[in-house]
Amino acid sequence: MSLAKTYAVMIKESRHILRDRTTFLLILLIPVVLMIIFAYALAVDIKEVPITLYNQDRGQYSRDYITMLSNSKDLVVGQPAESYAQIEAWFDRSLIKAVVVIPPDFSESLQAGQPTDIQLLVDGTDPATAEFAMNHILSRSMTFGFDVAVEVLSRQASTSSLAAIKEPLDLRTRIWYNPNLSNQVGIVPALLALVLNLPALAVMTSIVRERELGTLEAIFATPLSRGELLIGKIIPYVICSLVSALLCAAAAVYIFGAPFRGSLPLFLLLATLFFLAAFSMALLIATFLPNQASAAIGGLLIFIFPAFFLSGIFFPVSAFPDIVKMEASFIPSTPFVAIVRGLMIKGQGLETLWSQALLMFVVFVVMTLLSILLFKKKIG
């Protein structure tokens, strides 16, 4: 392989990227813009859920319970309801998401050390918000109930019995890497694997455009080998895409507060491997596409949609059926999601991420060999 010929193809392709505004935007700027849009739309942490209470008790314990529910930014306790009819009207107008109904004998039952029931009405129109409200109200209710039980029993039981009640099990939870369980920390880094598929669309479109214009056959008529052509075309796209990857990572860190605990050189190295795998797949697919319209549709169906649903950004790959897991393993985004999350959030190194890197390398080698073979058969 001649380095001079490869370099000439690289110069030609670099000039094309800089002159073609569509290609330039698709590689450098659109991934960053899309990542910011997706992050705001998909990685939002639910908070300030509007709820209210229907307090039929008016006792001291009910007031303490309301105070506990109100002492949080996750739940916003609004004006108390006066009747079930008012609750229904507020639900119909979407003014509240949940209502806690306190029965008339709430304080009296707790004072006597007896169990009491609390009714929780939830608007299930938005399941995510409904589940969030239910979990927070349930956890705070359990905490309040335990505290009241200890208080009541402290007046009735001996000191030794009280100690046994207070500490039957000392469970202390500590969450690593993402202490607040923030969606932005978990999802935003993984979105890089989705938006950085856009440069692969540019590569695919470039090949198909040259076939449509007839310039690809003219290039093959020159002394260029298939390897020199493919390598010369891919390298400029890889370099520009690495700049886009840096911009996306910077947006994740400085706009959304995502951590970057790993090595930046390792990030660039593994991102390069990801781009090589994605671009080699784009080259292979481009051999079967007749025009740029089909390339745009094919790119969405092959790169964007599978990366969105099958790569593990929102749903763990382990939860998929076996045949879907096998399909997901051929998508470069799947191992890259694990790499970006492990490197940025956990600070993992190559000793941990090597299996994912090897998977992308295998995809790159197989797709490149098939691309060279099919290019030769198709146009040679």
3-state secondary structure of 195: helix
What confidence score (pLDDT) does residue 350 get?
Answer: 92
pLDDT tens column, 325-342: 888 888 899 999 999 999
When pLDDT is averaged across residues 10-38 and rounded to a whole number, the result is 83
Is the model more confident about 116 or about 271? 271
Domain 49-166: which CATH class? alpha beta
H-state helical runs in 43-172 = 60-70, 84-92, 106-111, 127-156, 159-166
What confidence score (pLDDT) does residue 355 get?
Answer: 92
| DSSP-derived pairing of the beta strands 49-55 and 75-77 | parallel
Burial call 232-259: b when 16+ CB within 10 Å, e when fewer: bbbbbbbebbbebbebbbebbeeebebe
Domain with CATH 3.40.1710.10 in the chain: 49-166
pLDDT band at residue 64 under the 50/70/90 scheme? confident
User: Percentage of the chain surpassing pLDDT 70?
Assistant: 88
pLDDT band at residue 62 under the 50/70/90 scheme? confident
What confidence score (pLDDT) does residue 218 get?
Answer: 59
Model pTM score:
0.77
Exposure of 209 in the CB half-sphere (CA atoms within 13 A): 12
pLDDT tens column, 360-371: 999 999 988 888
When pLDDT is averaged across residues 95-120 and rounded to a whole number, the result is 85
pLDDT tens column, 246-257: 999 999 999 988
